[in-house]
Structure 1
Amino acid sequence: MKLSAAIIALVLAQAAYSQRPDTLKYCVNDKHIGVGGYDPVSYFQGNKPLAGKAGFSTTFDNVIYLFDSEANLKIFVANPTKYLPQFGGWCSMTLAMGRATTPKYDNFVILKDKLYLFERTVSVNGRELWLKDPKKNEKIASTNYTTYRTTGKIK
């Protein structure tokens, strides 16, 4: 009887774990919300992202995404990968520099129909650095992101 209870507990724990987002793959908050709670579709619709609303949400790859409207939710559900930020939502430039950091979600660029998010400090804007050589930065960030996802480290 004790063995059966232990097996059931193990199975339930595994099921709960498998429903958590991969926190190395995705930059999420403690509630597993992606893109800082912003509506990922809204980045492609104007100059400023819109905050998502709890009433309009969906889960993709165990990450919760919020939307400004039901229309944007439907657009996302029809083609989620089109609207996901590159590199799981981590700051693209700091990945190219060898670190994984949370971006400022209003600091972004759309290049070749892909969303890139960036960190911004008082002295450095990741977006500006990225745009100096996006092709080179993309290649380095992609390699570093793959390493980070599998090891939790970049270098």
Structure 2
Amino acid sequence: MIFSRRKIIALGAATVAMPAFASTEPRWYDIGSGLAATGRDVVAYFSLSGGDGVMGSDAFSVMHKGTMFHFANAENLTTFSADPDKYAPHYGGYCAFAMSRGYFASGDPDAWSVHDGALYLNVSKAIRARWALRRAANIEAGDENWQGFFPGER
């Protein structure tokens, strides 16, 4: 991968800032609600063809990586519990477009995409459309940046 001067500077600055960030912020973005994807059922995204996410219920919930996940039904809770990293949003639920550029931004659970069996959130539906124009390259860059921030995590 070719690194531009701007990308090297952004990655360097983010790397310096990350130790403080990583020690104080959850890896699974919860927008202050304490809930992953603000309570949306992350398993339901995999069967939707579009639209906004499906709200979960506290009656069907589980803690994963320090954040509570809600589900619409017991079946989705069981599915998630069998392989949580498969269904949890990539990049901790942070914006996939921002991560492809080497920084963190909140993920909107209604600006989502499922691609190659993975759930991605973006900060808005407009940014999701922009991210999708170069999806493969953006995912490759996002994966590389995420590994730089959190080695060994997906």
5 Å matches for 1:1-150? 23-30=25-32, 32-46=34-48, 47=50, 48-120=52-124, 125-149=126-150
Offset from partner CA, 1:71-102 (integer Å, 9 cap, x none): 11111111211111111110100111232111
Q: With structure 1 as the length reference, what TM-score do the two structures score?
A: 0.72
Q: CA deviation at 1:128?
A: 1.0
Q: How many residues are matched? A: 127
Q: CA deviation at 1:25?
A: 2.3
Offset from partner CA, 1:104-155 (integer Å, 9 cap, x none): 211111111111111117xxx12111111112111221222233447xxxxx
SS of residue matched to 1:40:
coil
Q: With structure 2 as the length reference, what TM-score do the two structures score?
A: 0.73
Structure 1's consecutive aligned runs of 4 or more residues displaced over 4 angstroms after TM superposition are: none
Name the CA distance, whole Å, in 2 between partners of 1:22 and 1:142: 22
Name the CA distance, whole Å, in 1 between partners of 2:97 and 2:77: 28
Name the CA distance, whole Å, in 1 between partners of 2:123 and 2:31: 16
Matched-pair contact (CA < 8 Å) for 2:37–2:108: no
- Identity in percent: 23
Label 1:64 to 1:24 Cα distance change in 2 as closer, same or farther (>3 A): closer
Name the CA distance, whole Å, in 2 between partners of 1:117 and 1:50: 14
Q: Unmatched 5+ residue regions in structure 2?
A: 1-22
Q: Unmatched 5+ residue regions in structure 1?
A: 1-20, 151-155
Q: CA deviation at 1:63?
A: 1.7
Matched-pair contact (CA < 8 Å) for 2:43–2:79: yes
CA RMSD between the two structures: 2.1
Name the CA distance, whole Å, in 2 between partners of 1:129 and 1:54: 34
Matched-pair contact (CA < 8 Å) for 1:57–1:66: yes
SS of residue matched to 1:76:
helix
Q: Quick one: which amino acid aligns to residue 34 of structure 2?
A: H
